[in-house]
Amino acid sequence: MRNGTARGTRAAPAATADASPTLTLWRRAQDELASGAARWTWSAPGRPTIAPLDADALAWLSRVTQGAQGRWGDADGHAELPAAVEARWWRDGWPYATLRIEPDGVRWVEAGGRARFAPLDPATLQQLRNP
């Protein structure tokens, strides 16, 4: 790690954490991984395997944050679309959030139930399907 940033990750996008749930996760996970305060795991989009949240996973999360910057709004967390693939995060073994990559955007659903949606173009969505 160099200057508190894991090798291979980019700097956090210029967005406020309150407006971006992915930026909030990115910052929290970066800080807690660096300090050892929590153990973060995730499952990549469409993959059932749970793995440690590493530099590559944080770089992918940064791309999500950049693509959805300024687009987040409150949404229904229960939309189930068959074409959606999901990425999931756990903090110390407890569910933290799910990101559904849907045909027209990304839906963020927190373990507590709050949901947000960011509409994205098809090219960006296709890139996010392959971390």
Please provide the average confidence, as pLDDT, over all residues in the chain. Answer: 86
Rounded to two decimals, the pTM is 0.82
Over residues 62-115, the pLDDT tens digits come to: 999 999 999 999 997 666 667 789 999 999 999 999 999 999 999 999 999 899
Q: Is the pLDDT of residue 11 over 80?
A: no
Average pLDDT over residues 1-20: 47
pLDDT at residue 4, as a whole number: 40
* DSSP per-residue letters across the chain: -BTTB-TTPPPPPSS-TTT-HHHHHHHHHHHHHHHTS--EEEE-TT----EE--HHHHHHHHHHHHHHTT--EE--TT---TT-EEEEEEETTEEEEEEEEETTEEEEEETTS-EEEEE--HHHHHHHT--
